Amino acid sequence: MEHRDPDLLAALAAVAPGKPLREGLDRILKAKMGALIVIGDGPEVLNISSGGFLVNAAYNAQRLSELAKTDGAIVLTPDVSYIARANVHLMPNPNVPTEETGTRHRTAERVARSIGVPVISVSEDMAVVTVYTRNARYQLEPIPAILSRCDLALQTLERYKQRLTEESNNLSYLEVEDQVTLRDVVTLLQRAEMVARISDEIDRYLVELGTDGRLIRLQLNEMLAGVEDERLLVIKDYVQDDAAWDLEQAIETLANSTPTISSTLLRSHTCSTSPARPMSSTPRSLPRGIGCWPGCPACLTRSATPSWPTAVRSRS
């Protein structure tokens, strides 16, 4: 699932539970009907439209389900506040590639890819809703299935948050004892990054859950309290600014080090397994990029020497 696609996230937010459009889609599914819905009534939509009739009426779920009885597409305004047209025949570019087989779904994907507006297809036979954007396609899942995934992700997040707290307490103790090594800092940044990425995964599920995800949102906010501040303060304490590398770049590179949660963040590599060298001694500059993966946290924190009392106070 291309959950990182901002266009897809916006489209999923529009069809999430609690939104007016979701109520209309549910009515169509319950009536065992199909539908093709275009979210957008700009010139680019009109240029590929033929036939149909002008509705120009305020949107509500009852009108949408009634208009779904027609054979053509339903065109809504971008904010889904009005139904612009109904029974419209769409004629997208036939050369746009599509992996769909059904006529309704092929048209929906080609329209979304060619003009970049969200298109929703409701399958009459399979009773499923599919959302198309310019670069993504996503079939809506049952709410219980998403809630189950969120519950599993929250359990995983809780375990990683506990490990992060342990690493933070250990680092604070080592700072007081003046015994911090590069590996200690890297380990904490690894845990903080894993917590951040798991929370991002839950955030994307919450977009699709809409109002059904209120309680999960409360649990997530409680678990993430102080995590981002912890990570930023550790990076600020240990990053070594120079003409080609600053704090903002360090944070961005660390966040974009890998596209998915993978074993990369957990495996040992050259920098973090180097012989322990107290960071409070004479500063050493490790060569960035030697034996490391791109965005290596150890290289982001190249032996800068913070003021220990300040560092301890800032995270206490």
Q: What is the pTM of this model?
A: 0.74
Burial 264-284 (b: 16+ CB within 10 A, else e): ebeeeeebbeeeeeebbeeee
**315 pLDDT higher than 90:** no
pLDDT at 156 (0 to 100):
94
Least confident interval from 88-97, 136-145, 200-209, 252-261: 252-261
Cα 6 to Cα 152: distance, rounded to the nearest angstrom: 25
Got the DSSP string for the chain?
--TT-HHHHHHHHHTSTTSHHHHHHHHHHHTT--EEEEE--SHHHHTTEES-EEEEEE--HHHHHHHTTSSSEEEE-TTSSEEEEEEEEE---TTS-----SHHHHHHHHHHHHH---EEEE-TTT--EEEE-SS-EEEPPPHHHHHHHHHHHHHHHHHHHHHHHHHHHHHHHHHHHT---HHHHHHHHHHHHHHHHHHHHHHHHHHHHGGGGHHHHHHHHHHTTTHHHHHHHHHHHH---BTTB-HHHHHHHHHTS-SSS-GGGTS--TTTTSPP--TTSS---PPTTSS--TT-HHHHT-S----HHHHHHHH-
pLDDT at 1 (0 to 100):
45
What's the mean pLDDT in 25-31?
94
| Closest listed residue to residue 313, CA positions, set 223, 251, 237 | 237
Mean pLDDT of the chain: 81
Least confident interval from 19-28, 130-139, 221-230, 272-281: 272-281
Question: Which tens digit of pLDDT belongs to each residue from 170-199?
Answer: 998 998 888 888 888 888 988 988 998 899
Domains, the chain, with CATH or none:
6-139 (3.40.1700.10), 143-315 (1.20.1260.110)
Cα 189 to Cα 298: distance, rounded to the nearest angstrom: 9
Question: Which tens digit of pLDDT belongs to each residue from 231-286?
Answer: 888 888 887 766 566 667 767 777 666 544 444 444 544 444 443 333 433 333 33
Residue keyed to tokens 């903080």: 192
Least confident interval from 73-87, 166-180, 235-249, 299-313: 299-313
Strands 35-39 and 73-76: parallel
pLDDT at 65 (0 to 100):
94
The tokens describing 41, both together, are 């009534």
Cα 175 to Cα 194: distance, rounded to the nearest angstrom: 23
pLDDT at 309 (0 to 100):
38
Question: Which tens digit of pLDDT belongs to each residue from 130-164?
Answer: 999 998 999 999 999 999 999 999 999 999 999 99
